[in-house]
Amino acid sequence: MNKAHSQGISLLTCLSLVTATMVGTGVYTSLGFQLQDLRSGFSILCLWILGGLISLCGALSYAEIAARIPRSGGEYTYLSEIYHPSLGFMAACVSLIAGFAAPISLSAIAFGTYLHAALPICPIRLSTLSAVVLISLVHLRSLKTSSLLQNVMTGLKFLLVGLFITAGIGSVILHPHALNLLLPQQGSLSALCRPTSGIALLFVLYAYSGWNAVTYLAGEVKSPRRTVGLSLVIGTLAVTLFYVVLNAVFLTAAPENELRGVLNVGSVAATHLIGPVGGRIMSGIISLGLLASISAMIWAGPRVTQRVGEDYPLLGMLAKTSEGIPARAILLQLALVLGLIAFGTFETVLVFAQIPLLLCLMLGVIGLMVLRKRNPHLQMLRDEASFTCPLYPLPPIIFLICSGAGLLYSVITKPWIALAGGMLMLLPLILHRWISPGSHH
């Protein structure tokens, strides 16, 4: 036990993993798409605050589940133990494709776009593919290398983006009238009730996705009953503040019509803030930050696949590790990422992935209510200095209502992509009876 604790992942690395997974593609790419549906800076900032509140409610719920079930695997472990192994298997397949392969491919596409804006000689396609392959190779080395890479890249990322925010705040001090863009105007709140806001909210929730990253590695964390929960909650709060400030900087830095529909909004805002050369430097900095996100997801994802391989003999080859590294699981994930980069566009991959992901997270949060009903006595948890969800049952209820509304909007506005996301959940449920170890169930 002591050996595991001394060699386990620390709270600092857990925080680094949560924040690096969350602060990635979403915040640097969403604004351009949101401005196609919403015209008011105030409405957009409201959506980012709402996204933070929804994610915090999810994180508080998951923090208690992680204390009750302190094992790796995220939704795969939770849904298998709380409901039925078939739901866990479905969550693992969703996790593999929508939870990791899709966000890694989106981050890689954004990385290629930002790097090209910084250094036009770097072709987008080649940069996108190289980033994914090289980082996967680094994570095939050792847990120590993975931890070091993650902490250094995350620290660098926040230091550099902090400089950008400072430049934005300095610009607002010099031109205070720019803040008028962020004040409520007529129709700002009613705009949030239109179905198109649902898609805008989906982009925001995508930017926040990853708040549950540490649950995938919980078994490798020092004192997981407490550390996992703390890192989820502190990480989500820090990222919410960061997102609201960063979007305010983007909105006040550049004219709305130059940001609308653009993927690399950070480059456009930086060019206005610090000139063309500064814009290119900032694009390079953001591309480095995106590498930290790609790295965090390439590290966490294969742990779920490895658990599936351990539990399902037919998929046993995926459980094989060399010196604790799930090499085959990493290579399978790499193949899926390369496939998505080759065949998907940014927006379709995002909406397709977000629908099954949100449904699995909702099942996870409902799981806390199920666990509380089954075992209302929390003495065992209190003895271990672990995490209990404050203000229960408010956080799970807020998470479920808001996520459900976002899902409903997206099904109405993008029915075909929603159907594809639904199929991603249905197929594993059908296949489970043939793959499960006791097929007679």
Contact 339, 129 (CB under 8 A): no
In a domain, 177, yes or no: yes
pLDDT tens digit sequence for 19-29: 877 887 788 88
H-helix or E-strand spanning residue 329: helix 327-343
pLDDT number for residue 7: 62
pLDDT band at 112 (very low <50, low <70, confident <90, very high): very high
pLDDT number for residue 4: 38
Task: Return the half-sphere exposure (C-beta side, CA atoms, 13 A cut-off) of residue 179.
Answer: 9
Least confident of 20-24, 157-161, 297-301, 434-438: 157-161
pLDDT number for residue 384: 56
CATH number, domain with residue 147: 1.20.1740.10
- Count of the separate structural domains present in the chain: 1
Residue in the block written with tokens 């079930």:
69
pLDDT number for residue 1: 34
pLDDT tens digit sequence for 10-21: 888 898 888 877
pLDDT tens digit sequence for 179-202: 887 877 777 777 777 766 777 888
- Of all residues in the chain, what percent carry a pLDDT higher than 90? 29
Contact 51, 236 (CB under 8 A): no
**Distance from C-alpha of 107 to C-alpha of 158, rounded to nearest angstrom:** 17
In a domain, 309, yes or no: yes
In a domain, 440, yes or no: no
Q: In terms of pLDDT, which residue wins out, 24 or 375?
A: 375
pLDDT band at 6 (very low <50, low <70, confident <90, very high): very low
Q: In terms of pLDDT, which residue wins out, 148 or 77?
A: 77
Q: In terms of pLDDT, which residue wins out, 76 or 1?
A: 76
pLDDT tens digit sequence for 190-246: 777 776 677 788 888 888 988 998 888 888 888 888 888 899 999 999 999 999 999
Containing structural domain, residue 233? 2-435
In a domain, 99, yes or no: yes
**Distance from C-alpha of 98 to C-alpha of 84, rounded to nearest angstrom:** 21
Whole-number mean pLDDT of the chain? Answer: 85
In a domain, 441, yes or no: no
In a domain, 429, yes or no: yes
pLDDT number for residue 337: 94
Cα Rg, the chain, nearest whole Å: 21
pLDDT number for residue 3: 37
In a domain, 199, yes or no: yes
